[in-house]
Amino acid sequence: MADSPPASDATPSPGTRVDEIADGIVRISTPVPPDVIPDGFTYNQFLVLDEQPLLYHTGLRRMFPIVREAVAAVIPLESLRWIAFSHWEADECGALNEFLEVAPNAEPVCGVLMRDLSADDVADRPARGLLDGEELTLGKHVVRWLATPHVPHGWECGHLFETTTRTLFCGDLFTQSGCDHPPVTEDDVLAPSEAMRAKFDYFAHGRDTGALLDKLARTEPELLAIMHGPSWRGDGAALLRRLAASLGATTGGQGDSAGDASSSGPGAPSGSPPTP
């Protein structure tokens, strides 16, 4: 593993897997059986181990004890520096304040639009808002915020790309059912994720969907860290463009300018939302 604070003596809850899927990137996966969610499901978080450790996704608030134990099995909780998430949703950031309480030096980190819309009102500490394309250095690892409004859903949505390992933390883009997955696969994940979407379509299908998926593809990721299902290793650019084709979304247009409140162009808000 990459240089990081020493692990504690804690152990994760039974059933929760903790696996290093790239150099210094740990996947935490908690399965939910079919008798709770039809066909089963997984909730995954990702921990970037470095001088400034980063947790991507907190999990649901009610899952906090499980995720807390898993994180503590890898690093001391108090060493967490950043808590990041793609968009404002319970499984993304439901346990944000619980983690802020046990990690006194941690700060939320997200896109500027999400900071202004929700995070700074709800979180117990102010969030670090990243502009579209802005990078945050954790030590050996560097993460870049890529604003993707409404892709797959949420005006404030975006994704983190880790430049050293070429890992794209792609959230809900390839959501798959099932509760028994390997940590990483090279098998097809598009077909099962499209089968899931056929049952209940969670994509917003905004006007810039294709351009924004192409914007992600141009990072040329080699590992997709997927929130629900196994992570995937391979030609990430090609897979993202296949997803765009499956959605019927063209990949031309304003992918670079379709960003958050810091950008202009199609899909971009003209500024921060008004406050009362």
Ramachandran class of 146: left when φ > 0, alpha when ψ lies in -120 to 50, beta otherwise: beta
Alpha carbons 129 and 111: distance in angstroms, whole number: 5
Dihedral of the CA atoms 174, 175, 180, 186 (nearest 10)? 0
- Extended strands (E) in the chain: 17-22, 25-32, 41-48, 54-56, 82-84, 107-111, 128-130, 135-137, 142-147, 158-162, 167-171, 184-185, 223-226, 231-233
Instruction: Give the angle subtended at the CA of 252 by the CAs of 250 and 254, to the nearest 5°.
Output: 120
Domains for the chain: give ranges and CATH numbers: 17-247 (3.60.15.10)
Residue 239 has pLDDT above 80, yes or no: yes
Enter the tokens of residue 171: 């959230």
Distances (CA, A) of 200 to 176, 195, 244: 12, 9, 18
Top-confidence residue, 6 or 118: 118
Output the average pLDDT for the chain: 88
Residue-wise pLDDT for 112-138, tens only, equals 999 999 999 999 999 999 999 999 999
pLDDT of residue 2: 46
Enter the tokens of residue 7: 């692990």
DSSP-derived 3-state class of residue 118: helix
User: Exposed e or buried b for every residue in 137-153, given b needs 16+ CB within 10 A?
Assistant: ebbbbebbbbbbbbbbb
The band of 200, judged by pLDDT with boundaries at 50, 70 and 90, is confident
Alpha carbons 150 and 255: distance in angstroms, whole number: 13
> Across residues 26-35, what is the average pLDDT?
94
> Across residues 27-34, what is the average pLDDT?
94
pLDDT of residue 276: 33
pTM over 0.85: yes
